[in-house]
């Protein structure tokens, strides 16, 4: 190479020279196909819209299963231990309507189903009212279970006059003034003997009016003044933010900690747990047993009513290691189909049938344990 060529190569190239253009670093996206550059923002917009746009459906899936015997307290009576478990099974529901991408995931995952929002929250109702109703149903299921269990054990149970406070809605006028378990006996000085009478007396006022509520708590009478507000679903209806039901005088105080679980389907397993705790014989026989069903009374007889989301509760029980699942008779076929040979499904129509079914189970660890092989049977 000549000296002239060396000096020319060391000199800076001009702004318009070919050597300058060929030696500039390549742009990082220069090798990306043009179609990809155009498509990328479109995909980003679609992904964003899929997260922001929601459909009028919630996800319904198996929830946790809880051993009721560990959450049960009975005061004033001897309780007997059990070697097994009695499971409260639950279904989980998404907090809000699903995004498009969440809906795609629910459609793919066989453990989950869709449930229309209008079924969860009917027109004219709010999410707050739905949650309050679910908690009220849970409290009613506990009362029904206590009533059925104590009567099954031969104890007389008397109805209390007035209306029992089941739940107090957070942020409502009654919050901090009334509590769950209070027995309302008078409104504005007028005695009320039933739940319906208490509601009727309240609705005789107008939203914004103050009412005087007389109630019994811990065997002592109290009076409190509460200003009403308009119902979220009807501006003409005055409410104080409580759910009411019928109260009873039970021989013993029963407490079942269900935290924020709602709905009526725990009645059967609650009643079985109370019977099991108050009888010396172990109904579980050492097995993990699940049950679901609402306790309803017909001609003063405790029946086991059908429930919702049975498929999700079957999956919940199986995941928790249950060997036996007691279900209402009307849910029997669906339960057997979903269990698919993984559980022993027993259909019952009354609390007594459910108790008898457990008493007929062989103890765990005996030579007869193989009779607990999966299958379906009706009492």
Q: Are 117 and 56 in contact (CB under 8 A)?
A: yes
Identify which has the larger pLDDT, 290 or 166: 290
Torsion of Cα atoms, 135 then 138 then 143 then 146, to 10°: -150
| Domain assignment present for 19 | no
What's the confidence (pLDDT) of residue 228? 95
SS3 180: coil
pLDDT band for position 29 (50/70/90)? low
Rama region for 293: left / alpha / beta (φ>0; ψ in -120 to 50; rest) = left
Distance CA 331, CA 37 (A): 55
**Residue 311: what pLDDT?**
92
Tokens read off for 379: 């009492």
Identify whether residues 203 and 346 lie together within a single domain. Answer: no
In a domain, 376, yes or no: yes
Least confident stretch, 2-16, 95-109, 122-136, 179-193 = 2-16
Q: Is the dihedral of CA 335, 337, 343, 346 positive or negative?
A: positive
pLDDT tens digit string along 230-241? 987 788 999 999
What is the per-residue pLDDT for 1?
45
Boundary of a domain, candidates 233, 249, 265: 249
Of 183, 214, 249, the position where a domain reaches its end is: 249
Do residues 107 and 167 share a domain?
Answer: no
Q: What is the mean pLDDT of residues 204-224?
A: 94
Domain-embedded: residue 28 = no
Residue 163 sits in a domain of what CATH number?
Answer: 2.30.42.10
Q: Which residues contact 39 (CB under 8 A, 6 or more apart)?
A: none
- Same domain flag for 144 and 257: yes
Length of the chain in residues, anyone? Answer: 379
Q: In this structure, are 243 and 285 located in the same domain? A: no
Please check whether residue 55 lies inside any domain of the structure: no
Range of the domain at 270: 61-128+137-155+253-379
Shared domain for 118 and 149, answered yes or no, is yes
Rounded Cα distance, 2 and 12, in Å: 18
User: Rounded to whole angstroms, how far apart are CA atoms 215 and 205?
Assistant: 19
- Compute the distance between CA of residue 307 and CA of residue 139 in angstroms, rounded to an integer: 16
**Position 316 pLDDT exceeds 90:** yes
Query: What confidence score (pLDDT) does residue 377 get?
Result: 74
CB of 379 closer than 8 Å to CB of 347: yes
Q: What is the mean pLDDT of residues 321-339?
A: 93
Other Cβ atoms closer than 10 A to 280: 6
Q: Which of 249, 270, 293 is the last residue of a domain?
A: 249
pTM for the predicted model, two decimal places: 0.77
> Given a cut of 60, is residue 6 above it in pLDDT?
no
Mean pLDDT over 322-331 rounds to 94
Three-class SS of 60-110 = EEECCCEEHHHCEEEECCCCCCCCCEEEECCEEECCCCCEHHHHHHHHHCC
In this predicted model, which residue has the larger pLDDT, 175 or 232?
175
Confidence of residue 366 (pLDDT cuts 50, 70, 90): low
Going by C-beta distance under 8 Å and a sequence separation of 6 or more, which residues neighbour residue 331?
292, 293, 306, 307, 310, 347
Assigned token pair, 228: 């009403």
Shared domain for 232 and 279, answered yes or no, is: no
pLDDT in tens, 150-169: 999 999 999 999 999 988 98
Q: According to the model, what pLDDT value does residue 50 have?
A: 58
β pairing state of 294-298 and 344-348? unpaired
Asked if residue 5 has pLDDT above 50, the reply is no
**Which range among 6-20, 36-50, 292-306, 353-367 shows the weakest confidence by mean pLDDT?**
6-20
Distance between alpha carbon 121 and the CA centroid of its chain, in Å?
Answer: 14
Q: Is residue 41 part of a domain?
A: no
- Report the candidate in 12, 87, 89 with the shortest Cα–Cα distance to residue 289: 87
Is position 29 within any domain?
Answer: no
Write the CB contacts of 106 (distance below 8 Å, at least 6 apart in sequence): 57, 59, 98, 112, 113, 114
Note whether 199 and 326 are same-domain residues: no
Average pLDDT (120-129) is 76
Q: Is 236 in the same domain as 344?
A: no
Say how far apart CA 124 and CA 121 lie, in whole Å.
8
Q: How many CB atoms lie within 10 A of CB 253?
A: 12
Total count of domains within the chain: 2
Beta bridge partners, 298, equal: 301
Window from 109-113, 254-258, 312-316, 323-327 with minimum mean pLDDT: 109-113
Stretch 252-273: mean pLDDT: 93
Q: Based on the domain organization, do 265 and 376 belong to the same domain? A: yes
Establish if 361 belongs to a structural domain. yes
Residue 126 pLDDT greater than 90, yes or no? no
Q: Distance between CA atoms of 329 and 284, rounded to whole angstroms?
A: 21
Give the per-residue pLDDT at 220. Answer: 94
Residue 258 has pLDDT above 50, yes or no: yes
pLDDT at 19 over 60: no
346 in the same domain as 324: yes
Give bridge partners of residue 249 from the DSSP assignment: 158
Of 291, 272, 292, 290, nearest to 282 by C-alpha is: 272
Kindly state whether residues 263 and 295 are assigned to the same domain. yes
What's the CATH number where 360 sits? 3.30.230
Q: State whether 146 and 278 are in the same domain.
A: yes
Per residue in 61-76, pLDDT (tens digit) is: 899 999 999 999 999 9
Q: What is the pLDDT of residue 2?
A: 42
Instruction: Classify residue 12: in a domain, yes or no.
Output: no
| Residue 30: pLDDT over 60 | no
């Amino acid at each position: 190479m000549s000296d002239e060529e060396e000096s020319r190569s060391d000199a800076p190239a001009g702004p318009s020279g070919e050597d300058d253009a060929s030696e500039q670093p390549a742009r990082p996206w220069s090798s990306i196909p043009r179609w990809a550059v155009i498509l990328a923002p479109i995909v980003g917009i679609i992904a964003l819209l899929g997260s922001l746009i929601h459909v009028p459906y919630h996800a319904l899936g198996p929830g946790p299963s809880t051993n009721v015997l560990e959450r049960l307290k009975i005061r004033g009576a001897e309780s007997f231990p059990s070697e097994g478990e009695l499971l409260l099974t639950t279904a989980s529901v998404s907090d809000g309507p699903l995004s498009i991408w969440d809906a795609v995931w629910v459609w793919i995952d066989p453990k989950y189903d869709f449930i229309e929002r209008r079924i969860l929250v009917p027109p004219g109702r709010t999410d707050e009212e739905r949650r309050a109703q679910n908690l009220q149903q849970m409290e009613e299921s506990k009362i029904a279970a206590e009533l059925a269990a104590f009567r099954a054990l031969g104890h007389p149970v008397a109805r209390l006059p007035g209306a029992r406070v089941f739940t107090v809605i957070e942020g409502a006028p009654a919050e901090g003034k009334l509590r769950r378990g209070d027995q309302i006996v008078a409104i504005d000085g007028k005695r009320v003997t039933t739940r319906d009478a208490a509601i009727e007396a309240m609705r005789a006022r107008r939203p914004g009016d103050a009412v005087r509520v007389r109630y019994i708590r811990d065997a002592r009478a109290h009076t409190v003044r509460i200003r009403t507000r308009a119902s979220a679903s009807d501006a003409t209806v005055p409410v104080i933010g409580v759910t009411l039901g019928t109260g009873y005088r039970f021989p013993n105080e029963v407490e079942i900690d269900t935290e924020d679980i709602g709905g009526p389907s725990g009645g059967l397993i609650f009643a079985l747990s109370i019977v099991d705790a108050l009888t010396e014989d172990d109904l579980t026989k050492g097995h993990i047993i699940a049950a679901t069903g609402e306790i309803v009374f017909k001609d003063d007889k405790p029946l086991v009513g059908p429930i919702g989301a049975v498929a999700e509760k079957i999956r919940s029980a199986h995941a928790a290691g249950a060997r036996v699942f007691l279900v209402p008779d009307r849910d029997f076929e669906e339960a057997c189909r979903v269990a698919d040979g993984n559980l022993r499904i027993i259909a019952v129509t009354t609390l007594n049938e459910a108790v008898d079914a457990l008493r007929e189970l062989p103890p765990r660890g005996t030579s007869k344990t193989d009779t607990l092989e999966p299958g379906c049977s009706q009492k």
